[in-house]
Chains A and B, each alone.
Chain A
Amino acid sequence: MGEETLFDLNDAIAKWRRKLRENGGIRRADMDELENHLRDEMEHLARNGKITEQDFDAASAQLGDINVLSEEFSKVNNDSGLIGIINNEVISMNSDGNYRSDRFIMMLLFIGFCGIIGWLGTTGWMLHGWTNSHHWATFGNALQTIGRFSFSCSFFLLFALFGMSWGLKLLKRVRNKMRFVLKSLIPAFILSPIYIFIGMAIILTTSWWGGWARAAFIGHRIVQSQVSPDGKFEAYVADMPSIDPPNHYLYIREKQGNISKEIARLAEDVDSIQKIHWSQYSDIVVFESWFNLIAVRVNDYRMIKIPLGGEKHWRKNHTFWVDYNDVTHPEAIEFPEPGVFSYRLEGAVETKNIDMESLESDG
């Protein structure tokens, strides 16, 4: 009698599963079910409780040709793309009813690392670039900045919180832990510029998307409005959607006929309207912004723009900056006669008169 070699059933099943997987079309859960069937058939075929290679060959042949099986299963499992990957690699359970831990852990760790990188990158960018900027100049600005920052960071913090904690929890069961950590960490670092870019994009576009959504459903946000003394005109300021507000557009509406005319657009993220002044004769309106006086004669929309100071320049660290301290605000704006307005700047003795009749039409 010849020497009998020991048959390794688990090895044979592993090879059989590899062939099935390589052919594609079969989910892990399907393979588990087929493997169960194979084991049932082998138990049935086994003589004296001993399973041989012949039993395995007979049982796998009875189960069917691998190519045909793949084809038939792929007809049923017709999901592809991301849903297919999630179904096949993440959600599918093995024969013990547990999640496939190896790839699942790697995916969770990868997501967690991405979250940490995105959070650190976004926080760093915010602290470096925005610390001294006008985004913190007033209480309202600071509140908005914190809101946008928190929104963006929460996105990545959730990644880090859930991805890392689930991944680390599952990692306890895995023998070679470093392999999973490295496999997750290396691609996360390679892709890290993408997460930092996404963080910046979220911060910058938060106000913009919100503004557009509001404009689409409710209309533009009117931040100031004054009706002329005769009630025929309305001067108003709309804050248009912007990635870096404020973004003020100036309008005059002729109430009869409801016709609005755009007068000017202020520098986005820099200038904003403080007050609207109507002449008692209802012929001139003056929009007082942080950096300019914009006077308009309503019958022909002649306009004059008077700068109040505030130079824009580049600071030494190459960030854009507007010097708010160089601005001299008007102390008084008056309308001494029809077609004329006057203004006196803070600390000045002289009052300047502007005759709108003498201007070339800008309207």
Chain B
Amino acid sequence: MALSKDLVAASATPLILSILAEGESYGYAIIKRVRRLSNDNIQWSDGMLYPVLHRLEQQGLIESNMRTSDSGRKRKYYRIKDEGTKILKQQKNQWMLVHSILEKLWEKRPCLT
């Protein structure tokens, strides 16, 4: 089951911030983690992740630094900032609210007829 384009776009920020809240990471690893967690149901076009990462960096939610990886290549690692943690908390509350509303609406009701 593939997610709609709108839902993919809306969930990108909380997903990235949540992954970075676990520890610093780089683009390829973030994509892999999302795929694994969603059992390949969230299919981002890989290149689209980077504009989102750069926008979050411009907004001051995350920061980056270039380092040499174990494979010997220079990689750009991203890390969540305090402002990002604050925004993640807000987004978490919002998504939980939507989730609880939908859960109530979709729970089985007794049939009146």
Partner of A41, one of B45, B46, B55: B46
Chain B binding surface SS class: helix
Decide if A36 touches B48 in the complex (CB within 8 Å): no
Q: Contacts A33-B76, A36-B75, A40-B28 known; A75 to B51 CB distance under 8 Å?
A: yes
Distance (whole angstroms) from the CB of A79 to the closest CB of chain B: 11
Number of A-B pairs whose CB atoms are under 8 Å? 59
Partner of B55, one of A40, A64, A76: A76
Q: Which residues of B contact A30 (CB under 8 A)?
A: 50, 54
List which A64-89 residues lie within 8 A (CB) of chain B.
64-65, 68-69, 72-73, 75-77
Q: Which residues of A contact B31 (CB under 8 A)?
A: 37
Q: Which of B47, B48, B74, B76 has the most CB of A within 10 A?
A: B47
Decide if A69 touches B73 in the complex (CB within 8 Å): no
Q: Contacts A76-B54, A93-B66 known; A69 to B75 CB distance under 8 Å?
A: no
Enumerate chain A interface residues (CB-CB to B < 8 A): 30, 32-34, 36-37, 39-41, 43, 62-65, 68-69, 72-73, 75-77, 93, 95-97
Q: A37-B47, A76-B54 are in contact. List 14 more A-B contacts (CB 8 A).
A: A30-B54, A33-B50, A34-B50, A36-B74, A36-B75, A36-B76, A39-B73, A62-B45, A68-B45, A69-B48, A72-B51, A75-B51, A77-B54, A95-B74
3 A-B pairs with the lowest CB-CB distances in the bound complex, closest first:
A64-B47, A64-B45, A40-B28
Enumerate chain B interface residues (CB-CB to A < 8 A): 26-28, 31, 45-48, 50-51, 54-55, 58, 66, 71, 73-76
